[in-house]
Each structure stands twice: as structure tokens, then as C-alpha cells.
Amino acid sequence: MKYFGTDGIRGRVGEPPMTAEFALRLANASAQTLAPDGGTVLIGKDTRISGYMFESALEAGFVSAGMDVKLLGPIPTPAIAYLVKKYNAELGIVISASHNSFVDNGIKFFNSKGTKLDDKTELQIENILNGTTFTKDSIDLGRATIDSLARERYQEFCISSYKNKDDLQNMKVIFDGANGAAYKVGPRILNSLGAEVLSIGCSPNGKNINENCGSTHPELLQQTVKAVGADVGIALDGDGDRVVMVDENGNLLDGDQLLFILAMYYKENNMLKNPVVGTVLSNLGLEESLKSNGIEFIRSKVGDRNILSLLRETGGNLGGEASGHMICMDYVETGDGLITAIQVLEIMKNKNSSLDNLASGMIKYPQVIENINNKNNFNVSDSKEIESLIDDTEKKLAGRGRLILRPSGTEPLIRIMLEGESRDDLISHMSDLKQNIERIVSS
């Protein structure tokens, strides 16, 4: 597809396709595809300064096509997934580039069931995008209103996911909101559950989203947890669908480790349904640790949409990515950082256990990850030279590691991941591999 990636449409603000003119046409085409008879669309956003521009453009495109628009303001991506169903809306839109810096932005879609669009629907929208926008007669135009209660409704939903009769009293939590969409709801939810909360990364100014904070930059959170003697730290990304956590010793726990904790607890309490789903990037240690405890583990392609598809296919209820996208099907069918964090906190409370102890049962193999600029959209799958490099590297790993090389679905990058027993060996292999691929891509 020309515009849609693994998670909506994303790019540099002001450069195609992330322009106001394109956003207006996109909204109009989406309405024609998903709601030709009108209806309601919810629009939420993160805290990027460009969100105002895209919000206005999308509003105009939907209203001109006869849809009523509810503007929800800054709110986590999973909140839109939840509220689309609660409001019986036809469509939900999130204006966000997730973990990227403020110079980027993106547009994500949720259908009336609160799940992301399939490839067929995205292609239908793209086909209409090639045409012209249309405006209905004045009597059939939509209306736009501001919904000031959306955050509260999502907060209530998150709070209701905590089932223990004992709240989080006496638990000290550091919350890092990445200066993003969850900067208000995160601390409020944790306070409502009784935790003592210290917030960082909760002072957005339109330009500091994900800047030295959040799930992609958790160093300050790690330092803060240790410095104040907190029990746990929670870091979301800019739109709130990813989460990583920090134990009482300042150690970072990624999505694989959180998935292990959830899966073990689910099994112990007869809550686990069918296989746990990870991705091709999930740590080999996660797979081995789950299997040694009698838990089946299967892998999907990268992306929470692919995890969801496999969960539905197998009837599973738990899946996730190392990046922190976690899907807990018993609550919501998309990645939700706060729901995941609340479940982990509840497990800590129920088992009277530290986060460090809960994660100790999982082996974690070293991984080395690098990105290569790919602005010319070089097709790595068609390159015999790159295929030969991959074969050579896999021979060096000698069956004791893995190599994953793939184009990013959200940025003009080629992503490389090496996994194995020795970090030093991986670093050496990666240096050679990256240097040669950069030569091939730029030639």
C-alpha cells in the first residue's frame, strides 16, 4: 500500500503524506468507505503541537462527508478503542506518531468494534484517496462537538480492571507519561487505586513528547525509582499503548518480561486460554521459559494487529511484543499500557511479591538491535547480496542464535536484530552486517 503502514499512516509533519490537505482528504475517503450513511467518529490525539492542525483538517473532512465528530482532546490510543464501542461510533481516529519525536505525526484508525482496520479496508480507502473529496448538501453535513467526559470514562474503565479488594495503599509508584497522551489519566488512575504516585514526564509542551522520557528513554525513571525507594516504575510511550516497567532495584523490564509475568499468573489461576502469542522479535528466553512451565508460545509478524489476528485465530487471551505492546483480550483488543501496568501491580499485590522476584523465572538472551536509514525504500527482500549476508551471519551464529532483518512499517528504516548467547559475538557480527548492508542500500 502507498500510505498505510503497520499502524496507520505516519511521517514527518509537513511532508507527504502528513499534511493538512492530505488529512482532510483521508477523513473524507474514510467516511465514504466506513460510514457512507453518516454516523459518529471519535478523534483523539497525543500532545504534539501538530495535533491541532491535523485535528482541524480531519474534522473538516468528516463533517463535509456527513459525519458527526466528537473531539476528545489528548487521550491514550487504547482509550479510543474502548470508547468507540462504548459510544457506538462508526469510527475512531488517533492523531499520534506513538514513540516518535514531535517532528513526526500519524493517523491511526479503529473500526466500530474497536480494532484496527484490515488490509482490505485500508486499500479501499487508498483507492478513494486517488479521487476527489466531496461535500454533502448543507442539510446533511455533520456536526463537531467537544466531549469533556471522555477521559473520565476511560479512567473508570481502567480502574474497574483492578479486581483485588485490597487497593494499592502503601505502594510507591513512579509514573512516566512520556509527556504524552496519558499525562493526565495515568496519575489519576493510580491515585484512585490508592498508590502513592510520583509523576515524571507529565509536563507536555507540544515539543517534548518522548524526549528523554517514556518507554523509549526510561533512564530517568530507573534512576528515580532507586533514588526515592519506590516499589515500581511505569513508563508509557507517547500515545499510551506501550508500557515498560522498572523494578525496585532500578532494573528495566521490557514487554517480554511483562508477558512472562502475566502468562505465569494467568496459568496459576486458570485464566490462560490457549497459546501465548509473541512476535518474531520476542526473546528466545521468553519462549523457552514459558515452555518449561507448560505454556505454549507461538509467534506472529511484528505489530499488535498481527498479534491480535493470531489471538483470534487460536482463541488465546494474552499476547505482546518486547516493545511493550501488550494485548490482554479479557479487557481490550489492542495494546493498552495502563491496563497492562494495572494487571502487573495487581499481581504484585496478590502474591505479595516484588517485580524483580516475579520476573526472575525468565531467562533473557542478549539482543543487539540496529537501524539503517532507508529513505530510498530499498527492497531488502529482492537483494541477492543481502540474502548472502544473512546466510553468512546465520552460519556464524551456528544454530545458537537468530537474525531478523525487516523493513520498518512506521519509519524509513531497515531494522536488524541479532540474538544469541554472547553479546560480544553479536556486536561483532552486527558491525560487519550493518556496514555491508549500508553499502548495498546506498549504492
CB 152: neighbour CB atoms within 10 A? 11
359 and 261 in contact (C-beta within 8 Å)?
yes
Q: In sequence order, which residues have a C-beta less than 8 Å from that of residue 377 and are 6 or more positions away?
A: 412
Q: Is 98 assigned a catalytic role?
A: yes
Are the C-beta atoms of 407 and 413 separated by less than 8 Å? yes
| The one-letter amino acid at 54 | F
Of 411, 378, 389, give the one whose Cα is nearest residue 302: 411
Catalytic residue among 64, 98, 282, 323: 98
Angle 151-153-156 (CA atoms, 0-180°, nearest 5)?
Answer: 110
Neighbours of 111 (CB within 10 A): 18
Residue 60 dihedral angles phi and psi, to the nearest 5°:
-65, -40
Question: What distance in Å separates the CA atoms of residue 207 and residue 400, rounded to the nearest whole number?
Answer: 43
Find out whether 13 and 52 touch, Cβ atoms under 8 Å: no
User: Which residues are catalytic, by number?
Assistant: 98
